[in-house]
Amino acid sequence: MSLHFHGKECLDLNTFLQVLPDIDLDRIALGLHYFPETGLADFFACHGSELVSLSTPLELLKLRGHSGFVAFPFQPGAKGYFIPAVLDAESCTSNRFVVEGLFREKENDPESELHSLDTGTAEDYTERVKDALQAINEGTFEKVVLSRKIKLPFKKDLMAPFIGRVFEKYPKANLMIFNIPGKGCWISASPEVLLAFGYSIMGAPHSSIISHALAGTMPAESDQPWAEKEIREQALVGKYIEEKFRELVPPEAIQKWGPGEQLAGNLKHLASFFHVQGGSAELAIMLAQGLHPTPAVCGFPYEPAFGWLIEKEKLDRSFFSGFSGSFHPERMKFIVNLRTACFRDDHLIFFAGAGIVKDSDPVAELAETESKIDTLRSLVDSQGIL
C-alpha cells in the first residue's frame, strides 16, 4: 500500500511502520486515512504546535484552500483538530523527510486535557442498559447508544506490528490512524462513512455528497433474518440522516440506496446510503456539522438521548464515535470512528457501543460490544501479547 502526501506518493506502509516506533507521540501529530476503494492512503503530519484547533466542523470553511487530516471527538462543542501537511507537494521528493525532517524535531508540548482511563465492569454496563430501557419506557427517547471500553497493558514498540495486522485483516475497512499529542494515538477500522464529497462510493458520481446510515449488528456467518429491533434501530438512523439532508437540499435531489447488508470483519450490519448529486464543498461541510453525532452513535431524538448520555454513560469517549478523515479543497471523506483502539500511557484502550431500543436485552447488548471490541482485540491476542 502506498501513502500519498498532497496527492504525491511519498512512502509505503512498511516504511511508515518502520519509523513509527521513532515518532515522538508527545510532540508530533499525524493522520493516515486509508481508502479501501483504491488501496491508497492520505498521510499528514505536523509538530504539535502546528495543530489547528476547531470548535465546530463549520470552521473547516476557513480552511478551504488547505489539505489536512480532520479529527473531531464524539461530544459536540469539544475541541476538534486539523493536522496540516508540514511540507508542500514540491518538497515531498523522497522518504528522507520522514526520518530527518518530521519525526526528530522537537517542539513545545501543546495544551492537552488528560482524561481518566478508568473502565467499568461488564455488570456496570448491563446496569446502564437497564437504566436506558427504563428511560425508553418512560418516553424520554426511542434509542440511545451506550459505550464501554476495555484497557490492556501495551508498549509503544508493539504498535507497528498491531497496525500491520489490522491492515492485513481488514483491507476493506476505512482504516484510520491519527495521533493528537496529549489525546493518544488512535486506530479505527470503521465500516461507517459520515460524509464524503469528491469520491465515488456505491457507484455515485464524484460530485455527489454521500452519507451512510449504518446500524443493527449480527455475526457475519449468521443466516438468521434481521430482528425487528435491528430493523427499527437502523431505520431511526436513516430517518435522521434524511431529515438533515432535507434541511439543506430539496427532497427531490436526495437519492437513497438500501437498506441492505454490509459486512464488517466478523460482523454484518444493516446499511443505507443517501446521496445528493451536484454538491459542493461548502454544502458538504454544513452537512457534516448537522449530521454529527448521528443516532448510530448517540441516540434519537438527539437532545434527550445526548443529555442522558452525558449524565449516565460515565465514560469519556474522546474520539471514539467522533469522526476523522482527509480534507482537501474540493474533496473530503469523514469516517465515524468505530471499532476503535487508543494507545496512551502504556495501555491500549478498546471502545465499542451498542444501540439500545425498547426490545433490547442487556446481556445481548453486552455481547454485541464484546464482538465489536474483538474486531481489534483479537489481533492483540494473536500476537501473544496478553
What does the DSSP assignment read for 237-284? HHHHHHHHHHTTS-GGGEEEEEEEEEEETTEEEEEEEEEETT--HHHH
User: What residues have CB less than 8 Å from 82, skipping those under 6 apart?
Assistant: 51, 52, 53, 54, 60, 63, 66, 68, 69, 70, 327
pLDDT in tens, 239-291: 999 999 999 999 999 999 888 888 877 788 899 999 998 889 999 999 999 99
The strand pair at 52-54 and 80-84 is best described as antiparallel
CA dist., res. 324 & res. 73, Å (int):
9
Query: Looking at 30-44, 132-146, 164-178, 370-384, which range is the least confident one?
Result: 370-384
* pLDDT at residue 108 greater than cutoff 70: no
Q: What percentage of the chain exceeds 70 in pLDDT?
A: 84
How confident is the model at residue 348, as a pLDDT?
A: 95
How confident is the model at residue 49, as a pLDDT?
A: 87
**Residue (of 328, 327, 5, 344) closest to 152 by Cα position:** 344
Our measurement of the distance from residue 296's CA atom to the centroid of its chain's CA atoms, rounded to an integer in Å, reads 12
For residues 178-200, one letter each, b for 16 or more C-beta atoms within 10 angstroms of the residue's C-beta and e for the rest, the string is bbbbbbbbbbbbbbbbbbbbbbe
User: In this structure, are residues 295 and 241 in contact, taking their beta carbons and an 8 Å threshold?
Assistant: no
How confident is the model at residue 205, as a pLDDT?
A: 62
Q: Pick the more confident residue, 108 or 130.
A: 130
Whether pTM > 0.85 for this model: the answer is yes
pLDDT in tens, 171-224: 888 899 999 999 999 999 988 999 999 887 766 666 689 999 988 888 888 889
Asked, as a colleague might, if the bond just before 329 is cis with ω within 30 of 0, I would say: no
User: In this structure, are residues 72 and 289 in contact, taking their beta carbons and an 8 Å threshold?
Assistant: no
* pLDDT at residue 81 greater than cutoff 90: yes
Mean pLDDT, residues 351-377: 92
Q: In what order do the strands lie in the sheet with 254-264?
A: 52-54, 80-84, 68-72, 323-328, 331-336, 193-197, 209-219, 267-276, 254-264
pLDDT band (50, 70, 90) for residue 361: very high
CA dist., res. 336 & res. 313, Å (int):
19
- Domains, the chain, ordered by start: 2-108+119-381 (3.60.120.10)
pLDDT band (50, 70, 90) for residue 325: very high
Total number of residues shown for the chain: 386
pLDDT band (50, 70, 90) for residue 314: confident
CA dist., res. 80 & res. 70, Å (int):
8
Q: Where are the beta strands (DSSP E) in the chain?
A: 2-5, 8-12, 28-35, 40-47, 52-54, 68-72, 80-84, 143-153, 174-180, 184-190, 193-197, 209-219, 254-264, 267-276, 299-300, 323-328, 331-336, 340-344, 347-356
User: What residues have CB less than 8 Å from 301, skipping those under 6 apart?
Assistant: 141, 142
Q: Pick the more confident residue, 61 or 121.
A: 61
Mean pLDDT, residues 30-52: 86
